[in-house]
């Protein structure tokens, strides 16, 4: 197993991160525990979850599954544990967001579900803009309306957020703070505000990034490089598009894909290239991410033991320059970093 420092910290994490979003909704508890056991055996020490994982069955279900696994003993101190906060977790008006009120309560609830006394990487699942994501509105109570004073910017501000995070660090409940789904300017603002307080700030950003979705190359990746922020990539297989056998699967995300004619052409060309290389498409997609020095780890989210075992092969794949050029031809990115991607 390969290990990398997480951003500008001295913390070393495996270059494959075990994503747990399938635990509960798609993978039962016994199989989830077996996958985590095998991940440790393979040297994967970086586990990612979130307080909301488990929906639509129940928010918190995935953290609870992990907590019962920790409770079996001799596991917690072998894992760098990352979870997330922000999403709607109840019907109350403050059961969401990044306010100090919610951060304190949500952290305590996550610790209880995870059956641990500390979280290694506490990630804000979204920048707080004072709004409710459309897919989470149904979880709030009925008749709730928000009023935003016109002279104030909606959402928790960085002074409040960093004060709350500092308290969580000082109390030993969390070690590091990360972000997820942040824009480049959010990363810059957050870390400038943290630096002004003498606080470490964001050490990682978790973004969707794959051959099929390369928009973070414009500004997020340059911001991460400039501020020493490690990039953790979710949906590294493009929602199943790069997993191989698209159109043949009868379960999982591949079975739910609806591709355009252009995307089907891309997938056909990509899978042909992978056959020429003698490698599984999913592993080539992971290897492509791993060749980017800003990437700390792609998140693999196995539903089965077979998927977990197969992903480790990606660490051994080296992609020569001609293959990288061919991948760029099949899945052209935004043209490089801003502003050169669209201007001189």
pLDDT in tens, 137-183: 888 777 888 888 888 888 999 999 999 999 999 999 999 999 999 99
pLDDT of residue 295: 98
Is the whole-model pTM more than 0.85? yes
* Cis peptide leading into residue 56 (ω within 30°): yes
* Cis peptide leading into residue 341 (ω within 30°): no
What is the C-alpha separation between 2 and 63, in angstroms, rounded? 26
Q: What share of the chain is helix, strand, coil (3-state, %, to 5)?
A: 40, 15, 45
pLDDT of residue 127: 96
CATH number for the domain formed by residue range(s) 3-330: 3.20.20.100
pLDDT of residue 316: 96
pLDDT of residue 149: 87
Catalytic residues: 53
pLDDT of residue 86: 96
pLDDT of residue 250: 58
pLDDT of residue 160: 98
What is the C-alpha separation between 328 and 47, in angstroms, rounded? 30
Q: What pLDDT, in 10s, does the model give residues 286-296?
A: 999 999 999 99
What is the C-alpha separation between 24 and 32, in angstroms, rounded? 8
Low-confidence ranges of the chain (pLDDT < 50): none
Closest CA to 229 of 207, 202, 206, 208: 202
pLDDT of residue 138: 80
pLDDT of residue 163: 98
């Amino acid at each position: 197993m390969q290990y990398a420092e997480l951003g500008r910290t001295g913390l070393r994490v495996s270059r494959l991160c075990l994503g747990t979003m399938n635990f509960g909704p798609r993978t039962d508890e016994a199989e989830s525990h077996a996958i985590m056991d095998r991940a440790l055996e393979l040297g994967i020490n970086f586990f990612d979850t979130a307080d909301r994982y488990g929906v639509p069955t129940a928010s918190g279900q995935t953290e609870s599954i992990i907590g019962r696994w920790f409770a079996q003993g001799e596991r917690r101190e072998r894992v760098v544990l990352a979870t997330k906060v922000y999403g709607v977790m109840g019907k109350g008006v403050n059961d969401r967001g990044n306010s100090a009120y919610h951060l304190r309560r949500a952290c305590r609830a996550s610790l209880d579900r995870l059956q641990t006394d500390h979280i290694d990487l506490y990630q804000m699942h979204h920048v707080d803009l004072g709004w409710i994501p459309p897919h989470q509105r149904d979880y709030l109570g009925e008749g709730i309306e928000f009023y935003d004073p016109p002279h104030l910017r909606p959402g928790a501000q960085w002074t409040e957020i960093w004060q709350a995070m500092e308290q969580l660090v000082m109390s030993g409940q969390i070690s590091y703070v990360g972000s997820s789904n942040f824009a480049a300017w959010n990363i810059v603002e957050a870390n400038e505000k943290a630096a002004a307080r003498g606080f470490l700030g964001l050490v990682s950003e978790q973004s969707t990034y794959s051959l099929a979705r390369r928009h973070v190359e414009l500004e997020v990746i340059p911001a991460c490089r400039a501020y020493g922020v490690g990039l953790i990539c979710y949906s590294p297989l493009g929602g199943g598009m790069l997993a191989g056998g698209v159109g043949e699967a009868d379960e999982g995300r591949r079975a739910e894909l609806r591709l355009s004619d252009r995307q089907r052409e891309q997938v056909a060309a990509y899978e042909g290239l992978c056959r020429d290389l003698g490698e599984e498409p999913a592993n080539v997609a992971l290897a492509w991410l791993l060749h980017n020095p800003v990437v700390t780890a792609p998140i693999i989210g196995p539903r089965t033991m077979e998927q977990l075992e197969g992903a480790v092969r990606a660490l051994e794949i080296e992609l020569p320059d001609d293959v990288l050029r061919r991948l760029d031809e099949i899945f052209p990115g935004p043209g490089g970093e801003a502003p050169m991607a669209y201007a001189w």
